[in-house]
């Protein structure tokens, strides 16, 4: 009988992970993570840090060095044409009857995360998949924004090129206005300031914009207001953009 693939949520930040666990993960998730010996992870260093924190709550099934941990960051160009073979090999412990955990760098596996390829292959192989409860920066941001939670769309990363980014933002604004739909996306933290500046230059003054940073952490920061209000506040708070530098954030708009 094949094992079960458990989707194990990670914390949204790596600082004070031990203190975060009891706030962001239910006991069932912590206990399941502690029981697993076989893992597919996005980053082994992060995974070991997470499991070290788990060990302060529950004893691990085995010593860290005895765990079998494979990294998966998504298919690269060099993997074209042989992705299915690679994924099946990663899932072999499941086919051999062992339960496995799938862990993302942060938050939920398979949500804004290459782990969805692993889950898809597990289903194709007839393997049972069970998602465990944990934090999602996207849903926490949406909850905190005051925007439409009945209709929303996530767009991953927008273009880096300034002109293309501005066009993408205008398109999202039009789509939001047409459907009355909240639009969400993320950005590499060191580009946060450039993203906010582009939003304030490209969007209409009445469009509502939210930036939600460091969600679930003690330093959590959420601001949701119109573009015009953002522009006025940045003039009053010249250090605001720098304060958001290098902080993981979710961006939202509602036209």
| Judgement on whether residues 23 and 79 belong to the same structural domain of the protein | yes
| Judgement on whether residues 99 and 205 belong to the same structural domain of the protein | no
| Judgement on whether residues 116 and 190 belong to the same structural domain of the protein | no
Q: Work out how many domains the chain is built from and give that number.
A: 2
Mean pLDDT, each 10-residue run in order, the chain (255 residues): 96 83 93 97 92 94 93 63 68 96 94 90 96 96 97 96 97 97 96 95 97 94 97 91 91 98
| Judgement on whether residues 141 and 127 belong to the same structural domain of the protein | no
| Judgement on whether residues 146 and 121 belong to the same structural domain of the protein | no
Task: Report the pLDDT value the prediction gives residue 81, as an integer from 0 to 100.
Answer: 46
User: Which H helix or E strand runs over 4?
Assistant: strand 4-8
Task: Report the pLDDT value the prediction gives residue 17, as an integer from 0 to 100.
Answer: 84
Sheet strands (E) in 9-150: 38-41, 68-71, 100-103, 128-131
| Judgement on whether residues 112 and 31 belong to the same structural domain of the protein | yes
| Judgement on whether residues 176 and 81 belong to the same structural domain of the protein | no
Task: Report the pLDDT value the prediction gives residue 14, as an integer from 0 to 100.
Answer: 77
CATH code at position 178:
3.30.950.10
| Judgement on whether residues 8 and 120 belong to the same structural domain of the protein | yes
Task: Report the pLDDT value the prediction gives residue 76, as an integer from 0 to 100.
Answer: 58
> Is the Cα torsion angle 225, 148, 105, 83 positive or negative in sign?
negative
Task: Report the pLDDT value the prediction gives residue 187, as an integer from 0 to 100.
Answer: 95
- Domain that includes residue 30, residue range: 4-131
- Rounded to two decimals, the pTM is 0.89
Which DSSP string corresponds to 114-165?
Answer: THHHHHHHHHHTT-EEEEPP---HHHHHHHHHTS-SSSEEEEEEPPSSHHHH
Q: Which of 114, 131, 148 is the last residue of a domain?
A: 131
């Amino acid at each position: 009988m094949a094992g079960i693939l458990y989707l194990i949520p990670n914390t949204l930040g790596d600082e004070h992970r031990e203190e975060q666990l009891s706030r962001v993960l239910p006991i069932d998730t912590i206990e399941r993570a502690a029981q697993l010996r076989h893992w597919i992870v996005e980053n082994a260093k992060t995974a070991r840090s997470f499991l070290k924190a788990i060990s302060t709550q529950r004893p691990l099934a085995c010593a860290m060095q005895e765990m079998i941990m494979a990294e998966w960051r998504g298919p690269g160009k060099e993997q074209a044409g042989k992705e299915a073979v690679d994924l099946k090999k990663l899932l072999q412990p499941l086919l051999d009857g062992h339960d496995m955990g799938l862990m993302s760098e942060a938050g939920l596996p398979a949500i804004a995360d290459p782990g969805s390829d692993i889950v898809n292959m597990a289903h194709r192989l007839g393997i049972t998949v069970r998602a465990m409860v944990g934090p999602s920066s996207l849903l926490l941001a949406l909850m905190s924004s005051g925007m439409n939670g009945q209709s929303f769309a996530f767009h991953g990363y927008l273009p880096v090129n300034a002109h293309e980014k501005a066009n993408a933002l205008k398109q999202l604004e039009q789509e939001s206005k047409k459907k009355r739909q909240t639009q969400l996306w993320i950005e590499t933290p060191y580009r946060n300031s450039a993203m906010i500046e582009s939003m304030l230059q490209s969007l209409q003054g009445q469009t509502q914009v939210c930036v939600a940073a460091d969600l679930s952490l003690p330093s959590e920061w959420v601001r949701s207001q119109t573009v015009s209000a953002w522009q006025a506040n940045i003039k009053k708070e010249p250090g605001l953009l720098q304060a958001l530098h290098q902080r993981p954030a979710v961006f939202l708009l509602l036209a």
